[in-house]
Structure 1
Amino acid sequence: MIVSRRSYMLPTIILICLTYILFSSLPPGARTPHGHHHHHHKQHLDEEPPHKNTRFRWVKHVEQFPISKYIPLPTAPSSPIPRIQYKFPRESWFARWGRTRRQRAVKKAFKHAWKGYKENAWLRDELSPLSGGHRETFAGWAATLVDSLDTLVIMDLMDEFEEALEAIEQIDFTTTDAIQINVFETNIRYLGGLLGAYDLTHGKYPILLQKATEIADMIYGCFDTHNRMPQSRWEWTRSAGGLNIEASRNTILAEIGSLNLEFTRMSQLTKDPKYFDAIQRIANFLEEEQPKTKVPGMWPMMVNARDLELADPRFTIGGMADSTYEYLPKEHMLLGGQTNQYRKMYDSFMGAMKSRLLFRPMTEDGRDILFAGNLHAGASKINMEPQWEHLKCFLGGTVGIGSKVFDRPEELSIARKLVDGCIWAYDVMPTGIMPEILHLTVCKEGRSCKLSQNSHSSSDAESIAQGKKLPPGVADIPDPQYLLRPEAIESVFIMYRITGDNSLQDSAWRMFQNIERMARTAYGHAAIADVRDPESPLMDYMESFWLAETLKYFYLTFSEPDLVNLDEYVLNTEAHPFRRPSAYV
């Protein structure tokens, strides 16, 4: 509507009032965006909470499929869990100087990205680090803010932490503009972030548990199905309207198998058994089916959670499956060894992985490193694809922890070779950064694993001619991106804390410097489009795990070993530290 210049004052005033009413009633996503990088974050604090006018709101209601009796937390006597961390000797002055110099560099990088988020995307999910805008990716509940709370504590940024605590009071976890809620991501980032900050500050800030309970009680609604398996992409508005929901016949394994730690910790802190009951039903199902799958000891990538069937022929420890396996030793730790269920599942998994997935690659120097491939279980044969991905780099840390807590010392060398494999995958790239996915050349058993100088095949030559820049031993790089992922430094950190090997700190420092050099922007850090190219363009997103995980793990690698001691805390798959029962020897 355009007002004529001949209009009088009254119509003009009426137009202004109507415009104000119209725009103040629009849903948040429909508002005209303003230049966030020109505004200080305090102006964002004065805005309306992001979901004030959303149509649907979650309220507690009578369940469609109520539980008659909850499965309680285990009450058996705790079994002593062996110590994980190396007994570090007293540090020399020179070693401390070098370590803290690196630690300060990581903290500086964090403060740069946090400043960019605070000034340009406050109370939004993610900063857009090239444009200075923001993205809503996880229900619009300020994912980066909540995900970063315990990193602020770990880095002793307590003024920023308390400022963030004031902001989270504005987040309403009972409503969202999202039609579906990704329960897994909500669980690990939001619930995990609140619980981690609560445990790390020893319960000093009750608002953290209050908000954790708010979000846990909401997503608990996803379990209200006929078999109590969660609807992982939860149609929450159906539940809010009193309608039935069902678990999916195509549920990602990681999304159903990685809720244990957070829901267990909720029951431990609140004394409410419903949370543990919810995940224990999943654990019982997975344990029962584990020996019956096409690769006994492992679960396929996709689960028919509605019919409780595991028919998918694809098996991996990478994306879509990873954290289910990661949580096996970690849930054992969080339960204080009060049950052997997770020990048995881990034992079965390790048998399958060692016999079917692990392989040594061909490298230029014949290095003794390990990777884990993918499996496809056909009618008569199980085929292994030598594919590796950045997401799989968690495995070295997990096997390292398992070797300690389950007293399997012979597997620590496997863990170290897996960690060294990820370090190698960083070091051989032109940018010093590992790509999202790469395919490797398998070293045949009983043969030398060192590539000869004339070992390039015609396909290698063709790849080089096409400009793919493949390092020796790498057969293909189908996805050359680096998305600011944490898995490699996660395992480097864990292996350093287990072994005390200072060379791992040196590897971490190389990794950090290369990422910082390539990814830094005016507003934060951005994902890299092609790690084969030292001049690679950047992509305009910075996921919350950059601050919650990647920089946290770099910082802890250069910290004193008692900061987030692995004998006192267990870290969830988003690097949020939950306090362990003190049942270790």
Structure 2
Amino acid sequence: MSPLPSGKATPLPHIQTTFESETSAEEQTRKRRQDAVKRTFVRCWESYKTRAWMSDEIAPISGGARNPFGGWAATLVDSLDTLWIMGLRQDFGLAVAAAANISFETATIDEVNVFETNIRYLGGFLSAYDLSGDKRLLRKAKEVGDMLYAAFDTPNRLPITRWRMREVAQAQGASQVAHDNVLLAEMGSFSMEFTRLSILTGDPKWFDAAQRISDIFEAQQDSTALPGMWPLVVNAKDGVFNQGDSFTLGAMADSTYEYLPKTYALSGGRLGGYKTMYEKAMAAAGQQNFFRPMVPDEGDILVSAMVNIRRGENGKSRVELDPEGQHLVCFVGGMLAVASKLFDLPDHLRKAQKLVDGCIWTYKALPLGIMPETFHMIPCPSTTGSCPWNETLWKTEILRKHGVDTQDTGQAHKIIAQKRLPKGFTNIGDTRYILRPEAIESVFVLYRTTGQKYLLDAAWAMFEAIEKNTRTELANAALADITVEAGKSAPKIDSMESFWMGETLKYFYLIFSEPDHVNLDEYVFNTEAHPFRIWGA
């Protein structure tokens, strides 16, 4: 059993910048915006209370209740710390009393997603406890931790990430084996929650479980097809994390990388291996995954994409960029901003700025002012130097992207009209907006680390666009297509995932709070936006 690291915490550098005093007008604007965000949250919370109480989610159009995460009141647990942060103490007390009675002995689903349960439920209870000190929340965190720990009961102690809990219980001790095809994020996103639970309880078993995974990542990091990064899919059954040809910071890999600097910070600098792994990973990603897109205003922005290793007949391999952007990968700017301060890496802050500006640019480029789930753009020859706009190249690439074997610009115009492609985009593969938080997350973090005031206006523009287009009579709904013309209504989906209230609205609220409210020198956010107190802070 690996014990928690001993010794005093390493004094961490300040992550937050020193903010100038705001004028009276700036304070009034900030508070007005913050109040608007809070009203949106309260409207959604009241609808959840009256129509879907103790269910995982409310259907924001029909008003029904859904249970995709086990029926353990995901929205309630995800919203606990948001209630506290927004000062809604009466509702916080109501929610804690209800949460204390959630039973994790049964589930409404056959297969428990261990990753989602960890970040939403364990993360939600730990954060709410760190903020409030209510011991009922720590008891629930331990309950969830004990349940998740059973998924690690395999021959090599690596977890079953899609876990059939009911079958295991009925089998009464039958053996479990981890799967041989596991998404990277589902294997590498336990370190924050498990470490914090061990710190708070004094029981090292959860830290030990996460550290075993970390040790494999560290040992195999330099032997992958793209040294420094790990492939999108790993083999937990055999403990092989270095075989595979696709590498990304985006969907299905994201929080493995996000947790590297954050776990270092959470431990008070006691776990130096996470710093080393982060620096190696970003050296590779900065060189291979970040690209500058060709855009009409020639903005100096960056997008993070996937790369694939292609192997030729001569045995040599080459790195091939797939220039697809994702809303989800917008978290990277915030990660780099935090790490730049933690590890004194000024270049990472410069990259963070360009990545965040890239997400802001994409929001502004779409007619509703909202970013799509996924999209393709044209990479510039390099991430530095000039990148002039080339209308002909844009149209040629659109034709190629859509499999049209012609140079007929008329065909390009038809595709642009049919797909409603703004200049700079060669395709929008997924036109949805599902109330995601990653863009405002990084805008918030960059603001707290730099104090640049334009980020406040960028955040407000995002919020106004999202609220205007997603609002329903009851709450807020995901959008099926954000490429509709400005002034037209985007078709809504009867879905509001718990992260809308647990993440998106929390970050919008915090960017318009006083900078000391949930200070980044005292707390570090998990991938579900749950702030954990830094060990020793």
Relative to the length of structure 1, the TM-score reads 0.86
SS in 2 for 1:475: strand
Aligned twin of 2:334: 397
Aligned twin of 1:314: 246
Aligned twin of 1:539: 493
Aligned twin of 1:499: 450
The answer to whether the aligner puts 1:443 opposite 2:392 as a matched pair is no
Aligned twin of 1:115: 46
**1:454-469 equivalent positions in 2, closer than 5 A:** 456-458=394-396, 459=398, 462=411, 464-466=413-415, 467-469=418-420
Aligned twin of 1:372: 304
SS in 2 for 1:570: strand
Given that 2:260 and 2:274 are in contact with CA atoms closer than 8 Å, whether structure 1 keeps it comes out as: yes
**1:266-415 equivalent positions in 2, closer than 5 A:** 266-309=197-240, 310-379=242-311, 380-415=317-352
**1:192-211 equivalent positions in 2, closer than 5 A:** 192-201=123-132, 203=133, 205-211=134-140
Q: Which runs of 5+ in 2 are unaligned?
A: 312-316, 400-408
Aligned twin of 2:432: 481
Q: 1:522 to 1:107 in 2, by over 3 A?
A: same
Aligned twin of 2:158: 229
- Determine which of 503, 508, 522 is the counterpart of 1:554: 508
The answer to whether the aligner puts 1:565 opposite 2:519 as a matched pair is yes
- Alignment RMSD: 1.3
User: What residue identity is the alignment partner of 1:486?
Assistant: P
Given that 2:421 and 2:427 are in contact with CA atoms closer than 8 Å, whether structure 1 keeps it comes out as: yes
Given that 2:119 and 2:527 are in contact with CA atoms closer than 8 Å, whether structure 1 keeps it comes out as: yes
User: What residue identity is the alignment partner of 2:52?
Assistant: A
Range with bigger deviation, 436-445 or 544-553 = 436-445
Taking the aligned partners of 2:308 and 2:391, their CA distance within structure 1 comes to 33
Taking the aligned partners of 1:188 and 1:399, their CA distance within structure 2 comes to 21
Given that 1:481 and 1:527 are in contact with CA atoms closer than 8 Å, whether structure 2 keeps it comes out as: yes
SS in 2 for 1:377: strand
Given that 2:182 and 2:234 are in contact with CA atoms closer than 8 Å, whether structure 1 keeps it comes out as: yes
SS in 2 for 1:388: strand
User: How many residue pairs align between the two structures?
Assistant: 512
Taking the aligned partners of 2:296 and 2:108, their CA distance within structure 1 comes to 52
**1:411-426 equivalent positions in 2, closer than 5 A:** 411-426=348-363
The CA deviation at 1:529 is: 0.5
SS in 2 for 1:457: helix
The CA deviation at 1:260 is: 0.7
User: What residue identity is the alignment partner of 1:236?
Assistant: M
Taking the aligned partners of 1:160 and 1:85, their CA distance within structure 2 comes to 30
SS in 2 for 1:264: helix
The CA deviation at 1:539 is: 0.1
SS in 2 for 1:565: coil
SS in 1 for 2:388: coil
SS in 2 for 1:223: coil
Given that 1:221 and 1:239 are in contact with CA atoms closer than 8 Å, whether structure 2 keeps it comes out as: no
Aligned twin of 1:168: 99
Q: 1:382-411 CA deviation, whole Å, 9 max, x = no partner? A: 211111101100000000111010111222
Taking the aligned partners of 1:308 and 1:280, their CA distance within structure 2 comes to 13
Q: 1:520-566 CA deviation, whole Å, 9 max, x = no partner? A: 00111000001101422100000000000000000001000011100
Taking the aligned partners of 1:383 and 1:208, their CA distance within structure 2 comes to 47
Given that 1:319 and 1:391 are in contact with CA atoms closer than 8 Å, whether structure 2 keeps it comes out as: yes
Q: 1:239-270 CA deviation, whole Å, 9 max, x = no partner? A: 32211111110111000100110010100000
The CA deviation at 1:91 is: 2.0
- Determine which of 495, 505, 510 is the counterpart of 2:461: 510
User: What residue identity is the alignment partner of 1:517?
Assistant: K
SS in 2 for 1:410: helix
User: What residue identity is the alignment partner of 1:92?
Assistant: T
User: What residue identity is the alignment partner of 1:411?
Assistant: H
SS in 2 for 1:442: coil
Taking the aligned partners of 1:114 and 1:411, their CA distance within structure 2 comes to 38
Relative to the length of structure 2, the TM-score reads 0.93
SS in 2 for 1:239: helix
Taking the aligned partners of 1:520 and 1:119, their CA distance within structure 2 comes to 18
Taking the aligned partners of 2:9 and 2:139, their CA distance within structure 1 comes to 29
SS in 2 for 1:422: helix
SS in 1 for 2:151: helix
Range with bigger deviation, 305-314 or 251-260 = 305-314
Given that 2:48 and 2:58 are in contact with CA atoms closer than 8 Å, whether structure 1 keeps it comes out as: yes
SS in 2 for 1:543: coil
Aligned twin of 1:520: 471
SS in 2 for 1:185: helix
Taking the aligned partners of 1:355 and 1:187, their CA distance within structure 2 comes to 32
User: What residue identity is the alignment partner of 1:439?
Assistant: H
Q: 1:24-53 CA deviation, whole Å, 9 max, x = no partner? A: xxxxxxxxxxxxxxxxxxxxxxxxxxxxxx
Aligned twin of 2:403: none
Aligned twin of 2:404: none
Q: Which runs of 5+ in 1 are unaligned?
A: 1-69
Given that 2:394 and 2:424 are in contact with CA atoms closer than 8 Å, whether structure 1 keeps it comes out as: no
Taking the aligned partners of 2:320 and 2:525, their CA distance within structure 1 comes to 33
User: What residue identity is the alignment partner of 1:138?
Assistant: F
SS in 2 for 1:381: strand
User: What residue identity is the alignment partner of 1:422?
Assistant: C
Aligned twin of 1:44: none
User: What residue identity is the alignment partner of 1:231?
Assistant: I
